[in-house]
Amino acid sequence: MTPTITAFERSPDSGRGLARDMRVRWALEEVGQPYNVRLLSFKAMKEPAHLALHPFGQIPTYEEGDLALFESGAIVFHIADRHAGLLPEDANARARAITWMFAAINTVEPPILELQTAKFLEGDKSWSAERLPLVMERIRKPLHPLSARLGDADWLDGEFSAGDLMMVAVLLRLRPSGILDEFPKLSAYVVRGEARPAYKRAFEAQLAVFTAASATG
Ligand code: GTB
């Protein structure tokens, strides 16, 4: 059964692949699973039909038969669990790959989200200029050990896994801040992720949505 995911009808990131449908598209492309996309306006996301799928009224969601999921981490895990290619067969290696998924969304991503809040929602506050360096430092804190752990390896634990997919997707969000450039090993890691054919297909697909929306005004 072909799953259906949801995405922004008009992404505020102008098709740069920073919205969270991108990681779900990437996972589906990695495992070779075709998918449908239902595009939503901000208004439609808060209407009952979508709230029945996603209690917080956000994208992405994932529907497959009578299964409906939300939360990009849970969706990527579900895809990786049901298809070969994103989680190792060996039980311990599989557990470690899942650990990296959690590290990405539970340790590395939260301060990155704080930066977006600090810049875009609190940028006009009198205390914003003082807060920003603190947030930037919180972002750097897990990146030092992450970079040391990756070292000169291509991926975090052997073969590319769902752990790398989530970590690269999270780190990508840092690029506009310039912080990623301070960590050459992590920068190269992100570039390796972006070079994967599955990433490129996913990126093109989400960009096509933005391009089509721009063309129709
Ligand atoms: N924890 C959830 C998950 O991982 O799925 C978070 C989902 C989420 O934040 N969804 C956002 C959303 O639906 C889109 S991705 N927002 C609408 C709302 O809350 O009303 C976040 C996002 C938005 C915009 C950019 N950007 O412009 O660069 C990047 C990321």
Look at ligand 1, atom 18, and give the residue with the nearest C-alpha: 58
Assess whether pLDDT exceeds 90 at residue 179.
Answer: yes
Assess whether pLDDT exceeds 80 at residue 82.
Answer: yes
Look at ligand 1, atom 16, and give the residue with the nearest C-alpha: 58
| CA of residue 19 to ligand 1 center, whole Å | 6
> Which of 6, 59, 69, 172 to mutate to test ligand 1, by most ligand atoms within 8 A of the CB atom?
59
Average pLDDT over every residue of 162-184? 96
Average pLDDT over every residue of 45-49? 98
Q: What is the DSSP string of 66-100?
A: TEEEESHHHHHHHHHHHSTTSS-SSHHHHHHHHHH
162 and 97 Cβ atoms separated by less than 8 Å: yes
Q: Establish whether residue 18 lines the binding site of ligand 1, counting it when its CB lies within 6 angstroms of any ligand atom.
A: yes
Model pLDDT, residue 128: 85
Average pLDDT over every residue of 65-75? 98
| CA of residue 59 to ligand 1 center, whole Å | 6
Q: Establish whether residue 76 lines the binding site of ligand 1, counting it when its CB lies within 6 angstroms of any ligand atom.
A: no
Residue range 98-152, pLDDT digits in tens: 999 999 999 999 999 999 888 888 888 888 889 999 999 999 999 999 999 999 9
Q: Which residues contact 128 (CB under 8 A, 6 or more apart)?
A: 118, 122
Report d(CA 184, CA 164) in Å as an integer. Answer: 17
Q: What band does 85 get if pLDDT is binned at 50, 70 and 90?
A: very high
Residue range 11-35, pLDDT digits in tens: 889 999 999 999 999 999 999 999 9
Average pLDDT over every residue of 37-53? 98
Q: Establish whether residue 72 lines the binding site of ligand 1, counting it when its CB lies within 6 angstroms of any ligand atom.
A: yes
Report d(CA 208, CA 80) in Å as an integer. Answer: 25
